Chain A
């Protein structure tokens, strides 16, 4: 089977793998050769994340609050939750018994090595009953959920990746310092040895998809859409909308910005983003009017000065997009 597993140990390892094998949707999939005898994947979880996003609890900050659930069909408890984020965070909150590792303004470096974002670890006892990490009394068993994962960020909401890892009493890898002579194969990275999902989190928008479609004069650049296209876009709920003001350097008057979603004034739901990214952003959830599943219509207006003149004009755009649950 592999060069590192032989005989009875190989059989035991295979049995252990099969016993803990997650459903067909497992993230890790077939691992051959095994990293070392006794290793089992930690992707036997069925995570879902629900998110609440609000603005201004801390001045200038978006607040992201998550509830982590583990499906009843999961084979493992969840003991680790990670986010790859497009911005730094502050004031991280955790459920009782969880420990955060977070990139703040001082450490966030999207161009640097590693994974920028936040990770939550369920606290474990300080001592182990064996040569493996002990389980945490705070991990999330199948069929249950845990609220309280929270952070604040100046970065507006966008789609981000997350992953949840399960717990198994996986023996520590062979260690030459202990005299182990077996040579382990690579262990899958934490982000692969888990179930991955997409959620909403701090995000850096970098480009304007369209400037809209109604204006025929030079005021079209007063407002740009950073994640919606004229020809239609599909968003998974909750749906973020990110806007850029003064795309071409025009003088605009932000206080004149208005937004109607399906005929309902949603101007107040737009809040500032970060410099260099989205200037205004909002997050619309299904079940809370006016967003609806399927087709939606967003109408925006904003006033500005036509380039090279002192003449005031209005940039009005109508954008259609589709929302799926």
Chain B
């Protein structure tokens, strides 16, 4: 193995720097020497190749590099892997409702850890402050919701999760918090701003921000089975493509079985008008992140059009087919008249 000192002239430059030399490249009044704290840190680290590390990490002007960092469980960036996956909450906007959650947990406890990074080496800090932690939309459209939706990060835009607490002191640089998801599925990013308040840290007073990718998702949903007895209503520009034809795996069997009974009884495929979004969450047919269709969140519900002028007898027969096929309940829904059958795989409580 080639010794590190042979690969480049850095040890020599370092020696000059430490001896207050002024080599041509780094000479001048703008050059800052390593702070005593940095040097002490490096000495304490006992890195055999420490001197080389110092210069390798210097900026173009030869100054040591310091930055603040934040660790957040699985590290990621907005374009990288998912750091956090959380189930959408079950309620209407801002108002969780247990009956829609189906035993999922829409909250996620997490810990942000602020560090001081000196020449690439994270160092703990005695104190820091989290200025804010916010959920922001990551790209549009997202979660299967089309461009007719409001994706702004405002009160009327796409509902996003909230951290609690979302700001405060972080003793030891550690800031525990809890993310409570909102009703909409899809990608979000966590944006956190912080400052090192440890006066003894090399990073004292330094601020920074970082983004992580998070996803609100009902995991494990599968496409509605491509079955000759199942027909899907045309997509809309507001929920384009196949992204809203997803179901909980347990709902596929009853759907296919119900469709077979429908074909047998009426000679036509079962016409679905709603299922679940690919990532779950609210299936808002009015593009406003709200009801109706608030129930189609976890892939356990389907809507069936009866295709015969809202006939009560036919609606009732379809509902009976759904229950026989394995749905816990099938009810008549619709506004202003009951015009379709809504089947759910599980009772709400």
List 12 contacting pairs A-B, 8 Å CB cutoff, sorted by A. A101-B321, A106-B260, A107-B257, A121-B316, A126-B309, A133-B316, A175-B331, A176-B291, A177-B292, A177-B335, A187-B329, A189-B328
Q: Mark A163-206, 1 if CB is under 8 A from B, else 0.
A: 00000000011011111000111110110000000000000000
How many positions in chain A have a CB within 8 Å of any CB in the partner chain?
41
**Partner of A101 from B99, B320, B338, B348 at Cβ < 8 Å:** B320
Which 7 pairs show the lowest CB-CB distances between chains A and B? A113-B326, A186-B347, A114-B326, A177-B292, A113-B253, A126-B311, A114-B325
Q: Is the CB of A119 within 8 A of B320?
A: yes
Query: B residues 314-349 with Cβ under 8 Å of A?
Result: 314, 316-317, 320-321, 323-329, 331-336, 338, 342, 347-349
Name the residue of chain A whose CB is nearest to the CB of B326. Answer: A113
**Partner of B324 from A99, A115, A125, A172 at Cβ < 8 Å:** A115
Q: Is the CB of B312 within 8 A of A101?
A: no
With A and B bound together, what is the CA distance between A190 and B331 in angstroms? Answer: 12
Name the residue of chain A whose CB is nearest to the CB of B97. Answer: A183
With A and B bound together, what is the CA distance between A178 and B313 in angstroms? Answer: 21
Q: Is the CB of A101 within 8 A of B324?
A: yes
Instruction: Say yes or no for B144: interface residue by CB 8 A criterion.
Output: no
Q: Which residues of A contact B348 (CB under 8 A)?
A: 183-186
- 9 additional A-B pairs beyond A125-B313, A126-B309, A186-B349, beta carbons within 8 Å, are A101-B265, A107-B260, A109-B257, A112-B326, A114-B327, A134-B312, A183-B97, A184-B348, A190-B320
Once A101-B265, A106-B260, A119-B324 are accepted as A-B contacts, the answer to whether A176 and B292 lie under 8 Å apart by CB is yes
Q: Mark A140-178, 1 if CB is under 8 A from B, else 0.
A: 000000000000000000000000000000001101111
With A and B bound together, what is the CA distance between A103 and B325 in angstroms? Answer: 10
Name the residue of chain B whose CB is nearest to the CB of A109. Answer: B257
**Partner of A126 from B291, B313, B329, B333 at Cβ < 8 Å:** B313
Instruction: Say yes or no for B83: interface residue by CB 8 A criterion.
Output: no
Q: Is the CB of A99 within 8 A of B317?
A: yes
Rounded to whole Å, the gap between the CB of B73 and the closest CB of chain A is 34
Q: Mark A120-145, 1 if CB is under 8 A from B, else 0.
A: 01011111100101100000000000
Query: A residues 185-237 with Cβ under 8 Å of B?
Result: 185-187, 189-190
Instruction: Say yes or no for B195: interface residue by CB 8 A criterion.
Output: no
For chain A, what secondary structure do more than half of its interface residues adopt (helix, strand, loop), or is it mixed? loop
Rounded to whole Å, the gap between the CB of A192 and the closest CB of chain B is 11
Name the residue of chain B whose CB is nearest to the CB of A175. Answer: B333
Instruction: Say yes or no for B134: interface residue by CB 8 A criterion.
Output: no
Q: Which residues of A contact B183 (CB under 8 A)?
A: none
With A and B bound together, what is the CA distance between A50 and B341 in angstroms? Answer: 34
Q: Which residues of A contact B261 (CB under 8 A)?
A: 101, 103, 107
**Partner of A133 from B312, B325, B327, B349 at Cβ < 8 Å:** B312
Q: Which residues of A contact B97 (CB under 8 A)?
A: 183
Q: Which residues of B contact A27 (CB under 8 A)?
A: none
Instruction: Say yes or no for A76: interface residue by CB 8 A criterion.
Output: no
Rounded to whole Å, the gap between the CB of A102 and the closest CB of chain B is 8
Instruction: Say yes or no for A262: interface residue by CB 8 A criterion.
Output: no
Q: Which residues of B contact A183 (CB under 8 A)?
A: 97, 99, 348
Q: Which of A117, A126, A177 has the most CB of B within 10 A?
A: A177
Q: Which residues of B contact A133 (CB under 8 A)?
A: 312, 316
Q: Mark A77-119, 1 if CB is under 8 A from B, else 0.
A: 0001010000000000000000111111011010011110101
With A and B bound together, what is the CA distance between A186 and B347 in angstroms? Answer: 5
Instruction: Say yes or no for B294: interface residue by CB 8 A criterion.
Output: yes
Q: Is the CB of B347 within 8 A of A172?
A: no
Q: Is the CB of B293 within 8 A of A177?
A: yes
Instruction: Say yes or no for B8: interface residue by CB 8 A criterion.
Output: no
Q: How large is the interface on B (under 10, 10 to 19, 20 to 34, 35 or more residues)?
A: 35 or more
Q: Is the CB of A113 within 8 A of B334?
A: no
Q: Mark B66-78, 1 if CB is under 8 A from A, else 0.
A: 0000000000000
With A and B bound together, what is the CA distance between A125 and B311 in angstroms? Answer: 8
Name the residue of chain B whose CB is nearest to the CB of A172. Answer: B332
Rounded to whole Å, the gap between the CB of A79 and the closest CB of chain B is 10
Q: Is the CB of A99 within 8 A of B313?
A: yes
Instruction: Say yes or no for B200: interface residue by CB 8 A criterion.
Output: no
Q: Is the CB of A125 within 8 A of B333?
A: no
Name the residue of chain A whose CB is nearest to the CB of B334. Answer: A177
Once A101-B320, A186-B349 are accepted as A-B contacts, the answer to whether A113 and B313 lie under 8 Å apart by CB is no
**Partner of B320 from A121, A125, A126, A184 at Cβ < 8 Å:** A121
Once A123-B313, A125-B312, A173-B331 are accepted as A-B contacts, the answer to whether A113 and B257 lie under 8 Å apart by CB is yes
With A and B bound together, what is the CA distance between A179 and B286 in angstroms? Answer: 13
Instruction: Say yes or no for B254: interface residue by CB 8 A criterion.
Output: yes
Q: Which residues of B contact A173 (CB under 8 A)?
A: 331
With A and B bound together, what is the CA distance between A30 and B158 in angstroms? Answer: 44
Q: Which residues of B contact A134 (CB under 8 A)?
A: 312
With A and B bound together, what is the CA distance between A100 and B253 in angstroms? Answer: 21
Q: Is the CB of B257 within 8 A of A114?
A: yes
Once A99-B313, A176-B294, A177-B292 are accepted as A-B contacts, the answer to whether A104 and B264 lie under 8 Å apart by CB is yes
Q: Which residues of B contact A187 (CB under 8 A)?
A: 329, 347
Name the residue of chain B whose CB is nearest to the CB of A131. Answer: B338
Q: Is the CB of A126 within 8 A of B253?
A: no
Q: Is the CB of B329 within 8 A of A177?
A: no
Instruction: Say yes or no for B64: interface residue by CB 8 A criterion.
Output: no
Q: Is the CB of B264 within 8 A of A177?
A: no
Instruction: Say yes or no for B295: interface residue by CB 8 A criterion.
Output: yes
Q: Which residues of A contact B321 (CB under 8 A)?
A: 101
Rounded to whole Å, the gap between the CB of B293 and the closest CB of chain A is 7
Name the residue of chain A whose CB is nearest to the CB of B295. Answer: A176
Name the residue of chain A whose CB is nearest to the CB of B340. Answer: A177
Q: Is the CB of B328 within 8 A of A172?
A: no
Once A134-B312, A184-B348, A186-B329 are accepted as A-B contacts, the answer to whether A114 and B335 lie under 8 Å apart by CB is no
With A and B bound together, what is the CA distance between A30 and B324 in angstroms? Answer: 24
Name the residue of chain B whose CB is nearest to the CB of A191. Answer: B323
Q: Is the CB of A178 within 8 A of B335?
A: yes
